[in-house]
Structure 1
């Protein structure tokens, strides 16, 4: 689960990470009042969407606009907020459809001397928290890594020992910091590590982490993501979820405990087991088409969950055909057949459907599908299923 910048900054501030003063605004008038309350005479208005590249983005119909604006008065803050709120912002991460800006973060400006990069994430290879830092902040870290990999610093943090003082100091020196900034950086990264561990975070990214002309460190931007499987321990974090920023298909799937990720293809997939789901997606690609989703209904899914999963697939406008691939171990094939029949009756089946069942009660499940009167194609194995759904989708396109 991801959260907005203003939420991430509030959390990091509570753990001791220094951030500029700012507040979230839900209207242009509120943006003006916040600017009045902030120190200084330079303010920054930032569109709050779950996507990076906001400053380089543009609002639909205005190619010269951007999702991060500098203003120099409260009146200008109100005027610019009018130009940004309730508009669709397009960035390199949103895709051409963009995201609707429903709120702005109004922040006090600061004089920047240097921009650094800092992030914390889980490295699956070392099974540890890893700190990634670079003296080249304010840029895409992927671009920095591609052009100048030597400027990417990495430190693995031992789970039992935590961040060691020498590691924090070495990072600071590697970033070109000196004097009191070394201790300031060590305190900041230690606070970020504490937040990461305490809140079961999956990502903390501060880009840029700036050194001000006054010699202070400030987290000028912040992203935080959390492990969905640990949210039951953090009800206060779960309340920060903004479903407007999520794929509505994924939101609906989460209500039924389904593992769903929307993709760009046209063949909907419903599978039990993550490994089998990945294999199903791969074999669709091998046949020259692309899956519309990753969908794992789980080994012990109920009829209600399976029906919900099928309903999500059929309601997706980009889906041209559906492949159901079930291995009945814990999951019974007759239960899958019941759910497929129920969902088709509820939503209506207007596209090719190929079902491959194997395992527990497979004969009963196949008999139920054949007796249903639905235009269902039964496949004998995974390769047969992929060939049949691809052929059916392509034939439908030519009609």
Structure 2
């Protein structure tokens, strides 16, 4: 089963009781299917596919922005901060400059705006207080629009294939559109074998609100090209909001978001080379480099577990005993000693972590491999927090023998409930010790 689908099924399981666990696993599922491109990158892919997009240039300096703005020959200009987060227009940069999207009426103003954005962190409703670094701005021509609509292609669990989502209303979030008028949204499942038919494309065009045949034909052409891009590039999402009609009757994709399936990276090296890791949590970047499923949370107890369901159960029981998970970290069923060591480095380097709970059920995964990884980590890094280890299953006796022989001061238990209690208690001891600047030794 695809890992992301497994995580999504696990997150929706009725046995998952804690909200934090569901959110963590849903985030992990989306992270696995993660290559999120900047707007200028998505537009270039669409441009290459023959899809109508506004003229625009990505720039990383005031000089480049000024040159780009002058190329529009007196037309109004839009400058957009290129960060991977929604709500850019209402965001604020940490230097005090307000707004990640600006309409400008002359090249000098556009250059000034771009200069205020580039190299600064933009804070939006999706970034948290730390914001996201804006390394580039998109300088594009302003387009005057007759109508704004919403268009997306994604995969649908219900129909087990691609689905087109179309609305005659656009320019705002699809959730807001649905809340205001559910009838404004049309879902069009696409048969995986047949592909997109003319009838499907025409139904979509009409759902977008096109009425005369000339406009419908233009919309059909864009819908077909968008679907071809979705399939050929192994995308998991192509979202255009808004897709718009100009006064001249043309159909233009104004803003675009495209996500891709990580499993298809070997087929699309050129696309995956566009990944901007500066927009991601450094811990998650490090984890992905070692094929670890990691999502950072805001708690104080680091979790190292194998399997999404067990990870959620572990987070739930930590919450039950008053702790708070610091992460979702699933080493999977085939982790090596090196991967386990790297996992411990990530947990140990997280300054919020005050204790680590290892909970492994050895089925495919061997407990002795986990044990050796723990030992390697303890010997190669300065473990600053206590480690509680609960191992059960395949090669568990061998694992316990390795831990005993190592001489490390690990807290071992066979019972998950006891393991969670001990992790929470030790985390509290560390927290109290830190408040009075006391150093506590946890290993020999």
* Interval containing the TM-score (normalised by the shorter chain): over 0.9
Kept after mapping to 1: 8 A contact 2:93/2:121: yes
Alignment of 1:199-278 (within 5 A): 199-278=233-312
Residue 387 of structure 1 is matched in structure 2 by 421
Work out which of the residue numbers 119, 122, 130 in structure 2 matches 1:89: 122
Kept after mapping to 1: 8 A contact 2:150/2:208: no
What is the deviation of 1:102?
0.6
Kept after mapping to 2: 8 A contact 1:88/1:100: yes
Alignment of 1:178-197 (within 5 A): 178-179=211-212, 180-197=214-231
Residue 303 of structure 1 is matched in structure 2 by 337
Residue 352 of structure 1 is matched in structure 2 by 386
What is the deviation of 1:387?
2.3
What is the deviation of 1:135?
2.2
Kept after mapping to 2: 8 A contact 1:315/1:347: no
1:19 counterpart SS class:
coil
What is the deviation of 1:56?
1.5
What is the deviation of 1:103?
0.3
Mapped pair 1:312 → 2:346: yes
What is the deviation of 1:61?
4.8
Task: For residues 12-48 of structure 1, give each alpha carbon's deviation from its aligned partner in whole angstroms, at most 9, with x where no partner exists.
Answer: 1222210000111011100111111235421111111
What is the deviation of 1:242?
0.9
Q: Measure the CA separation in 2 of the matches of 1:88 and 1:168.
A: 41
Q: Measure the CA separation in 2 of the matches of 1:290 and 1:158.
A: 44
* CA RMSD of superposed structures (Å): 1.7
Q: Measure the CA separation in 2 of the matches of 1:284 and 1:128.
A: 37
Kept after mapping to 2: 8 A contact 1:40/1:108: no
Q: Measure the CA separation in 2 of the matches of 1:127 and 1:318.
A: 41
Task: For residues 51-109 of structure 1, give each alpha carbon's deviation from its aligned partner in whole angstroms, at most 9, with x where no partner exists.
Answer: 111112111253x7100111112212211111111111111111111111110111011
Work out which of the residue numbers 364, 371, 376 in structure 2 matches 1:330: 364
Task: For residues 277-315 of structure 1, give each alpha carbon's deviation from its aligned partner in whole angstroms, at most 9, with x where no partner exists.
Answer: 232223323334332222121212111111111111111
Mapped pair 1:25 → 2:59: yes
Work out which of the residue numbers 291, 311, 325 in structure 2 matches 1:291: 325
Q: 1:214 to 1:100 in 2, by over 3 A?
A: same
Gaps of 5+ in 1: none
Task: For residues 202-252 of structure 1, give each alpha carbon's deviation from its aligned partner in whole angstroms, at most 9, with x where no partner exists.
Answer: 111111112222222111111111111111111111111111111111111
Q: Which moved more, 1:337-346 or 1:280-289?
A: 280-289
Q: Measure the CA separation in 1 of the matches of 2:376 and 2:188.
A: 53
Q: Measure the CA separation in 2 of the matches of 1:135 and 1:45.
A: 26
Q: Measure the CA separation in 2 of the matches of 1:155 and 1:232.
A: 30
Kept after mapping to 2: 8 A contact 1:379/1:388: no
Q: 1:200 to 1:286 in 2, by over 3 A?
A: farther
Alignment of 1:111-126 (within 5 A): 111-126=144-159
Kept after mapping to 1: 8 A contact 2:42/2:256: yes
1:261 counterpart SS class:
strand
1:282 counterpart SS class:
helix
Mapped pair 1:105 → 2:138: yes
Work out which of the residue numbers 164, 180, 197 in structure 2 matches 1:131: 164
Kept after mapping to 1: 8 A contact 2:74/2:106: no
Residue 342 of structure 1 is matched in structure 2 by 376
Q: Measure the CA separation in 1 of the matches of 2:404 and 2:137.
A: 55
